[in-house]
Structure 1
Amino acid sequence: MTDQLLTVTEAAERLRTSPSGLRWQIHQGTAPKSAKIGGRRMFRESDVEAFIAAAFSDQ
């Protein structure tokens, strides 16, 4: 089974932030793992979900 790829806008919606906020996190190195595919920044759905789970496990 393959992960769905999410755009910056879609990942930002999942993370409840703005696309510009997510771009700032990418710049700072604090965003979920991503890659440029076809000239676009893409996130694997599982990486975004793991990022959210890790945020809750650190509490």
Structure 2
Amino acid sequence: MKVIVQHNFRDKENDLVLRTVGEELEVSRKRAEYLANSQLVKTVEDQKGGDPKSPIEAQG
């Protein structure tokens, strides 16, 4: 699950790496819920689908 850091924090599960505001991380759902409940990150919904046409085909 993708999350975006809202407040700087040291990541205890990754050798105390400093996570800075705006950084995007890929974490497990359980870890995302824990960090979101601590108000350290904001979860990002996975975007599925999208524009099926290539830019060349879309030019018309």
What's the TM-score bracket when you normalise by the shorter of the two chains? under 0.3
Which structure shows the higher strand fraction? 2
TM-score by length of 2: 0.28
TM-score by length of 1: 0.28
Larger Rg: 2
Which structure shows the higher helix fraction? 1
